[in-house]
Amino acid sequence: MTTITSRSLAYRCTPSGLQGRQHSHRAVRSRAHTQKRSLTTCQIVESESPSLVDRVLKIFATPANSLNEGIATFYDESSGLWEDMWGEHMHHGYYEVGQPVKNHQEAQVDMIDNSLKWAGVDEVTSMLDVGCGIGGSSRHIARKFNCAATGITLSPKQAERANMITKEAKLENVQFQVADALNQPFPDNSFDFVWSMESGEHMPDKEKFIAELARVCKPGGRILIVTWCHRVLEEGETQLKPDEQALLKNICSAYYLPAWCSIADYARIATANNLSDIKTGDWSAEVQPFWGAVIQTALTPQGFTGLLKAGAGTLRGALVMPLMKTGLVKGTIKFNMMTAVKPST
């Protein structure tokens, strides 16, 4: 089994001022220079006494020489099936709490629009889509604001398919390429809006990730990250509980994820990068219907046949979908967002 070693964030986080659905981080910025950070190493490995889930996942393990290679291969294999079943948007849907469950493709578009509204984005000239999938968000935002859009992904097949769809849509100001989000091929201050929809969880170095987003963002521009996190640690906790760690380990091994962090970690890193107007949110309740719907789709004849054709890696990912649903229900997994502005001076 491949061992993936990643840099992770480990520090004691008090809940005061950091928990809840939306927070201001001016107080965090004021004391950021006094807060110590420690980096630990997390390995995605088998436990000494593997569970049934461990043993089943091992059967469908796909060898990879690096985290980036694993991510690229996973999406090369699975993106076609996802598009066939769900369309061009490769992310959660947004469902109003207490309302009847809407059409899932509509919910995915609503996730984009509600995220933009939440972040106060009402004008864009040039955007960067970090972890673009097959380009659904880029095309939607380009149409919405009549702006230029550039998307990057580790998956060559995603980039190729994204450019194909975009050409068919006659969107000349939208383009996609293969690039590493931690080493982006763009000059400083290139984009006035930097967007990351459910790609942050793949980043092994969250500090470098935020630093790169800030670097390519123009002064006065806005960054918006929507990502999977683990819950914020409670007062006195130094790590997640063993059962929570076990759940995340199995998800990591299937989806090629490095160690998880909390939204409080993201806010602290944004502060350390001198970003301003930092705001975080929690839409865990708003995405609750999503994984149940994905599981139901996978159990249809078309979905099951597609999984078998897509390969072992995709099937392995399907096997842990119930764990994502469980993690959200238990509160171990959080669906969070953060937005911030790069100061003009």
Closest CA to 173 of 125, 206, 216: 125
Percentage of the residues of the chain whose pLDDT score is greater than 70: 81
Residue 336 has pLDDT above 50, yes or no: yes
Tokens of 148: 């230029």
Read off the tokens for 118. 């939440």
Tokens representing residue 316 in the block? 């392995």
- pLDDT tier at 310 (50, 70, 90 boundaries)? confident
Beta carbons within 10 angstroms of residue 305's beta carbon: 11
Look at residue 275 in the predicted model and tell me its pLDDT: 98
- The gap between the terminal CA atoms of the chain, to the nearest Å, is 49
Find the mean pLDDT for residues 154-164.
Answer: 96
- Residue labelled with tokens 């673009």: 132
- Residues near 269 by Cβ (< 8 Å), separated by ≥ 6? 9, 206, 207, 210
Determine the Cα–Cα distance for residues 69 and 53; give it in Å rounded to an integer. 24
* Residue 63 pLDDT: 59
Q: What is the mean pLDDT of residues 158-165?
A: 97
More confident site: 19 or 131: 131
In tens, the pLDDT along 12-65 reads 333 323 333 344 443 333 333 333 333 333 333 334 455 555 554 454 455 567
> Given this model, what pLDDT does residue 248 score?
96
Write out the two tokens for 162. 């994204």
Structure tokens at 157: 């097949």
For range 325-339, the mean pLDDT: 97
pTM: predicted TM-score of the whole model, two decimal places: 0.82
3-state SS of 138-152? HHHHHHHHCCEEEEE
Query: What mean pLDDT do residues 294-316 have?
Result: 82
pLDDT reported for residue 313 = 75
State yes or no: pLDDT of 325 exceeds 90: yes
Q: Quote the crossing angle between the two packed helices 321-330 and 242-255, to the nearest 10°.
A: 140
Q: What is the pLDDT of residue 72?
A: 87
pLDDT tens string 233-289: 999 999 999 999 999 999 998 888 999 999 999 999 999 999 999 999 999 999 999
Mean local confidence (pLDDT), 75-88 = 84
Q: What is the pLDDT of residue 121?
A: 98
Please report the DSSP string for 75-120 in residue order.
HHHHHHHHHHHH-S--S-----TTS----HHHHHHHHHHHHHHHHT
Triad 218, 17, 32: Cα angle to 5°: 55
Spatial CA neighbour of 344 closest among 185, 228, 217 = 217
Higher pLDDT, 112 or 298: 112
Sign of the torsion formed by the C-alpha atoms of 73, 79, 80 and 81? positive
Mean pLDDT for the chain overall:
84
**Polymer length of the chain:** 345
Q: What is the pLDDT of residues 195-240, one digit of tens each?
A: 999 999 999 999 999 999 999 999 999 999 999 999 999 999 999 9
| Helix, strand and coil percent figures for the chain, each rounded to 5 | 45, 20, 35
Q: Over pLDDT 90: what percentage of the chain?
A: 63
* pLDDT surpasses 70 at 10: no
User: Residue 228: beta bridge partners?
Assistant: 335
